[in-house]
Structure formats: structure tokens, C-alpha cells
Structure 1
């Protein structure tokens, strides 16, 4: 008899009440889990990885989405952009880029004839090599009119933009983006008034634009602005069939309702000017910045949901891990369960005990996972320079998921433990 008693496993104190208080259940669960630290830690690992992945990926996705939205909105969501398409020779459609289908005269006609348009700006865009002293860089040159700063929300931080007189006289003046300034002048503060060379032509620097940052692969600070007349006459040449060629036309309205009307009006004006009649295809295309923002938001949102769903597989794996460990625990603690029942523990008390252990594992693992996910998202936001966004809903969802995993994974093992026959359990080795 004494030898049999020596084999009785050490178990937590069992209260004499038939209904065990919640605090006592949690205390026993923590004591049992703490006595098996390695097993408990490995069991939590699946939940930690799953919750951390869900929170981090959701945060990074929302941060990237916010960053791109800010960059597009910085260009103005109340802006239409008209771009040149493929020209036609008779009824034959030529290749894109073979010649320019938009002219400065088109932009002036839109400004005069479209009542829903508040502002129109034409621009000509080319890549060119720029040289200053011993430094040189390849950058984007924009030949613009005076409305471009308002159309693109791009204003000088130092110096000024060129004026009407300089535009009319094709003055060789230039406004640099911050990236071009750093590349050519380094940390020098003496930039305004310096002479740079663009494709062999000398231009005087009269301003530096405020920083705008990158928009996808394009650095909006790696640009130079010069008068449209100077660029058309000196750097590009007048390659339009009639008038001054332009790469695009920016159209701004005060609100989205007027913008829709403006798009309709601009389309009809350009079709009449270019003599395009159905079923002929337009030799221009119009993009709406607001539509771009909406489309991008939807795409990123769907992509984030897809990746979060994939990360959720880790939670399923974590739940399976909890269920496996708890099932093993039931087998290992069969004798302990028999002793508990022998001294008066009810089936409900045993069920609650094992459920509590599974829930404690999932909640603690979920808490660590949430903290890890927030930390990963914060580090990623600082490294890749996008806004740090943590959704309260994602944190609540993470906590709810971890609790649900514990409940679901613990039900079958707890039920098996509660249904053990005490006599059979006491006889087990």
C-alpha cells in the first residue's frame, strides 16, 4: 500500500467545494503550465507566430496604402491628366510615341471652352543629362507653363518659379528638385544664381522646390522645371503637326462633381479639335487621380486580406499544436485526474481545468504575438519609411482569435479528461 502511494503524482491543491472558483482554476492552470515550461513555450509558439503575422502584415499593408495615398493626394485628387495617345495617318493608327498628339493650343482651348475647368496646365517632359562643374546627373526635365505649381501642388522652397515674362521670352531659367540639387551641389547653400547645363544649353537656377518624396519607382524630387517655350524651342524642337507639342495637360476642378463634368467636356473639345468621330479611337487618354487612389486602395486592401488569410494558417497550426499537447497531457496526467475525481472533483471541474490551461496558453501566446507584431510593424515602418499604422480592429481581432484558438483546441482534450473513469485512471501507471 505504501509503495502504491509513493507513485501518486504531485498535484495542485484541490478545494473542497464542489464548485471551484475561477481564480482557483486559473491558479492551478498557471501552476501546471509553469511546471512544464519548455512544453508550454513550444505550444505557444504557433499562436505567437500566427498573431504576430496577422498584426504585422495588416499594419504594413495599411501603412503602405496610406503612404501611396498621401503621395497621390499630394499631386491632387481633383486633377485630370490628359496624355497623348497614338496618332493616326488617314485611317491607320501609328505607334505610341511616334509623334505628339497634344499641343499647347489644345490646353488653351480647354481653358477657354470648358466651364467646369478651374485651371489648366500644359507640360512637356523629357529625360536629359544635366551638368554642373564636375558633377552630372540624368534627370527628368519638365517644360511647363505658369499654372503647373498649382496643378501639381509643387512650389519653391527656396527662390521662385519663373514668371510670365520669362515664359514669353523663352528665358533659360530652371527650378531644381531637392534630389537634383543634392546631386549637383552637395551640401552647398549657394545654389540660386548658379549656372547649369542641360543638353549643352546653359540655364540659371532661380529656385528649389519643396521635397515631395518618391511615388513608387519615381522620385518626385529628381526633376527640373524650365519654361515650356524654352524647352520646346531649344531642347526638344517643335515636333507637333501644328502648334507647340506637349506631353500632357493637367486639368483641375474644385470638386469631384465638377471633375466628372470636366472630363466629359474635355473629351468632346479634343475630339472636335482632332477631328475624331465615331467609330474612330481617341488619340489621347484621360486619367483621373481620384480613380487611381480608389483603385490602388482596393488592390492593396484585397492583397492585404489575402496575405492575412495566409498568415491565419499559422493560427490553425498553433491551434492543432495546442490540441496535440493537451491530448498528450491528458494521457500523462491520467493518474492525477483519477486522484482528483477520487477526492471529489466533478467532471465540470476537470473540464474547466483543462480548458483553462488551453485558454491561458492561447491568451499569453496571443499577447506576446500582438506585442511582437506591433514591434515588427514599427521597425518595418521606420526602415522602409512609410506611416506606422496600427488598426485597433486588428488588435481586437488578434486577441479574439487567440482566445478562440484556445477554446476550440482545448474542448476535445478537456472533454476526454472529464469523462475518464476514476477507478481506471487510478490503475494507470
Structure 2
């Protein structure tokens, strides 16, 4: 009877469902998109290694404004080498000296990219290997040889698809470099595109590109420490901090001139932030469910007024107040249930389309679908409760006299 009644007023029923459809689809789509983005970023960060510490130099300040971690010259290559020898929890250490927006030219192609000077341990520690050619060797590092390994995006920008870049020459800030290899594709991690990078020997980077050796050794932006597993990170962090404080003669209350970042903590922090944002936005989207519930309540109240004579007739032939209550309550639940079902399908479709367009994992949890459907039922019960109660309380004689 509830379905027949709603079908006889299809347009009104459809408009009534609209609020529930929008609310449920928004909650499911936003939850799915948030989980997909979170999973994609976690995978990208994990691909660079989860059992690592990143040690950055202090922040330089210009006019009282911090220029970001690694901008001051407080760490040296010798610091990184000391950590490799003196920290038992460290299985490998790789130093890096980088500069963004460096001009790179090949023929008539001119691009700006990030150039990183590093050592032989970088591929193993950062979990990135050449997919074409090789990484530079110890002898290249020893003599500061002008050789380069390209990120996959840099390779695509500088060379034609059918062209082999190995052995070709490029110019970095006017200096000629020979291409030795091309790194495998890693994708973006936050604002950093791991494929838009050129790798050169640290010795060459220091001498030719940066040219700012410190008084006590080769200045670097930082280094990455790899432990045997994630459980050793805290021990490695404690040992690294103590060794650097001794080397830099730092004693309390003097502040450290370096910063140690735990990759596992970074992943957890990011997961917590994205989870909170997804929950907040999902809650905001849930407001439309309240609007949808108000719409159902309004329509049901109007329906009670329009069907006063029908209610009176049903009561006159023996319908109880409970039967009338159930009739109108069932109509409200059917509206919200159908709207919830359509909303779930629409939300999943929107999430799938977004994941396909922006290329991140498509994730729909069963919990979000179940919660969405349960919410639609709750909205139906709450929105239909008062109108159904009003209908059940009508006096049959007065109802039969109603217009």
C-alpha cells in the first residue's frame, strides 16, 4: 500500500527522496575519495622506504622568516659518514645536496627541474633503481665526473619517445653532463614529483652547481638513515641525535642545528590528518541528510492533511490507531530506503569516476555503505514519526467531515 501510494504521486515522491539521495551519495563518495587519496599517498611514501630517518639541516632565516629545513649549512657529508660508522642501528646512510628550479638544456629544449647530488647508497636507501642504464659508480664520485641519471619525467621532457637517452649530452647550468641512466617511475609524494629530478655525483654537485663547501667539509642539505626494520627507528633516531650533538658541540640549553624526521611517524601523522579531514567533510555532507529528513517530514505532514478523509474512512471501518501509524510510518521509511539505495549507487559511481580521472585507488568500504543505508532508515523513522503520530490521533468523525 505504501509503494502504491508513493507511485501514484511519483513526482512528489521523487523530489522528497532527493535530499536523502544527495546526502547518502555525498557521504559515500567523500568517504571513498578520502580513503583512496590516503591509500595512494601512503603507498607513495612507503615506496620510498618506511624504515628510514631523514636528517635535515637547520632552517636559514632571511629577514626573520624561516627558509625551510635544509636551507642552512649546518650538516656536512662527513657527518653522514660518521653516522654510518658510529650508529649501530643504521644499516645504510646516503647524503644529498639538492637545488630546485635548475635550468637544464638539450638542443632547443629548455626545462627547470630539481637536481640532487648524492652518493652510491641513494638507490638502495630510497628504494628507487634505474630502469634504463646504470647509476653512477664510485670512480665517478671520486673524480666528480659530470654524469647524470634522469627521472622518468625529465627523460620524457628532454627526449623523444623513440630516442635512447643513454650516452647523450645535456647541459645543467651551462655545464655538459653525460646521461648514464633513467630512474624507474615513482610518482608524486605531496608537492614533490619524484620523477622530475636529475641525480648527479655529490662531489660534482658541490663543486659545479652549488659551490658552497663549508669550512669543515662538504656542505649538504641532509642525509637519510636506513635501519634494518621499522622497530629499530627509535633506537636509530636516539643514536643519530647523540652523535650529531657531540660532533656539533651542542649541549643544553642550546638548540639542535638539525632535524630528524621519522618516516613511520610521518606516515601515521598524514594518515591521522587525512582521516580527520575525511570525517569532517563527510559530516558536513551529512547535513544534507538532515535537510532531506526535513523534506520528508514536510511532505508527510502535507500528506496527512490531504488524506484526512481517507484516514477517517479507514478508522470508521475498523482500522486501529496503530495500523494508521504503521501505514504512514511505512511510507516514510519506503521513501528514505529507496532514496538511500539510489544514493549508495550514485555515491559509488561518483567515487569510481573520480578515482579513474585522478588515478588513485578506488576504495569503498562496506562499513560506509551499511552506515549510509542505516542512516537513510533512521531519517525515515524520525521524519515520518510525527506525521504518522498525528494521523493516528485523528478523530474518525472529525476526519470524515474534513475537506
One of 75, 80, 97 as aligned partner of 1:102: 75
Counterpart in the other structure of 1:189: 163
Select between 262-271 and 337-346 the one with higher mean Cα deviation. Answer: 337-346
Deviation at 1:344, TM superposition (A): 2.0
Contact 2:152–2:184, Cα closer than 8 Å, also in 1: yes
Contact 1:61–1:300, Cα closer than 8 Å, also in 2: yes
Contact 1:86–1:101, Cα closer than 8 Å, also in 2: no
Instruction: Report the 3-state secondary structure (helix = DSSP H, G, I; strand = E; otherwise coil) of the residue aligned with 2:54.
Output: strand
Contact 2:58–2:71, Cα closer than 8 Å, also in 1: no
Instruction: Report the 3-state secondary structure (helix = DSSP H, G, I; strand = E; otherwise coil) of the residue aligned with 1:82.
Output: strand
Q: Distance in 1 between matches of 2:67 and 2:302?
A: 73
Q: Distance in 1 between matches of 2:133 and 2:297?
A: 69
Aligned pair 1:294/2:268, yes or no?
A: yes
CA deviation digits over 1:406-426, x for unaligned, max 9?
111111111111121111111
Q: Distance in 1 between matches of 2:302 and 2:121?
A: 74
Residue segments in structure 1 that go unaligned for 5+ positions in a row: 1-27
- What are the equivalent positions in structure 2 for 1:272-283 lying under 5 Å apart? 272-283=246-257
Q: Distance in 2 between matches of 1:44 and 1:425?
A: 28
Counterpart in the other structure of 1:16: none
Deviation at 1:96, TM superposition (A): 7.4
CA deviation digits over 1:258-298, x for unaligned, max 9?
11111111111111111111111111111111111111111
Q: Distance in 1 between matches of 2:300 and 2:374?
A: 21
Counterpart in the other structure of 1:394: 368
TM-score normalised by L of structure 1: 0.90
Instruction: Report the 3-state secondary structure (helix = DSSP H, G, I; strand = E; otherwise coil) of the residue aligned with 2:286.
Output: helix
One of 32, 47, 62 as aligned partner of 1:59: 32
Counterpart in the other structure of 1:21: none
Aligned pair 1:85/2:58, yes or no?
A: yes
Residue segments in structure 2 that go unaligned for 5+ positions in a row: none
Contact 1:142–1:225, Cα closer than 8 Å, also in 2: yes
C-alpha change, 1:147 and 1:129, in structure 2 (3 Å) is same
> What's the C-alpha RMSD, in Å, of the aligned pairs?
1.7
C-alpha change, 1:49 and 1:171, in structure 2 (3 Å) is same
Counterpart in the other structure of 1:19: none
Contact 2:70–2:222, Cα closer than 8 Å, also in 1: no
Deviation at 1:86, TM superposition (A): 4.7
Q: Distance in 1 between matches of 2:7 and 2:207?
A: 81
Counterpart in the other structure of 2:305: 331
CA deviation digits over 1:133-181, x for unaligned, max 9?
1101111111110000111111101111111122112121111001111
Select between 227-236 and 107-116 the one with higher mean Cα deviation. Answer: 227-236
Instruction: Report the 3-state secondary structure (helix = DSSP H, G, I; strand = E; otherwise coil) of the residue aligned with 1:76.
Output: coil
Contact 1:99–1:239, Cα closer than 8 Å, also in 2: no
Q: Distance in 1 between matches of 2:279 and 2:287?
A: 13
Contact 2:57–2:71, Cα closer than 8 Å, also in 1: no
Counterpart in the other structure of 1:20: none
* Aligned length in residues: 398
Counterpart in the other structure of 2:392: 418
Counterpart in the other structure of 1:116: 89
CA deviation digits over 1:363-388, x for unaligned, max 9?
00001111111111111112222211
Select between 392-401 and 290-299 the one with higher mean Cα deviation. Answer: 290-299
Deviation at 1:97, TM superposition (A): 6.8
Task: Tell me which structure has the larger Cα radius of gyration.
Answer: 1
Q: Distance in 1 between matches of 2:351 and 2:99?
A: 39
Aligned pair 1:30/2:36, yes or no?
A: no
Deviation at 1:87, TM superposition (A): 7.8
Contact 1:87–1:101, Cα closer than 8 Å, also in 2: no
C-alpha change, 1:189 and 1:264, in structure 2 (3 Å) is same
Q: Distance in 1 between matches of 2:334 and 2:215?
A: 76
Aligned pair 1:346/2:320, yes or no?
A: yes
Aligned pair 1:45/2:18, yes or no?
A: yes
C-alpha change, 1:109 and 1:97, in structure 2 (3 Å) is closer
Q: Distance in 1 between matches of 2:249 and 2:60?
A: 12
Counterpart in the other structure of 2:232: 258
Contact 2:70–2:221, Cα closer than 8 Å, also in 1: no
Q: Distance in 2 between matches of 1:267 and 1:217?
A: 28
Q: Distance in 2 between matches of 1:97 and 1:305?
A: 34
Aligned pair 1:143/2:143, yes or no?
A: no
